[in-house]
Homo-oligomer: A and B are copies of this chain.
């Protein structure tokens, strides 16, 4: 089999051109994240917002520690889920919203360093379901990095009712 066929795997390029209905996704992501109390509780902020790929950042600080002084797995999952949720916002139309139906995290190393960053990208941009993956990485003061977690997750598109 031609190696070029195999090399098509694991590509995460946007599957569909951005439609006019998706225009303004950056503003919608910023509005959504600023309306999230929980992201504020964890001091999560957006670093990069692109069509189908989003990077968020969370400082490593005592309020997210578990009993051993590392970032709690739930806080890491929250960062990953926030990144994929905002990535989903870049893919939906203005009259849609999304709900998380499932997520799965593999933990790769301790949540430590100065900051945890998480990048979400699109596995499938479907008519009904959005499937994403995200990866969290610890960034230390000296710029070195270490892998923390990998997530896959599914969102379902639902119509936004007028009052939402």
Contacts and interface: CB of A to CB of B under 8 A. Distances in A.
A8 B145 contact: yes
Contact of A77 (B39, B78, B133): B78
A135 B5 CA distance: 13
A48 B109 CA distance: 29
A71 B46 CA distance: 20
B154 A102 contact: yes
Contact residues on A (Cβ < 8 Å of other chain), bracket: 35 or more
Interface string A72-114: 1111011111100100000000000101111111111100000
Given A67-B35, A74-B78, A75-B78, A152 B106 contact: yes
Dominant SS at the A interface?
mixed
Given A1-B57, A124-B147, A41 B67 contact: no
20 contacts: A5-B145, A8-B145, A9-B119, A10-B119, A36-B67, A37-B62, A66-B85, A72-B78, A72-B82, A73-B85, A74-B75, A77-B77, A99-B107, A100-B107, A101-B107, A104-B152, A106-B123, A106-B154, A123-B150, A129-B156
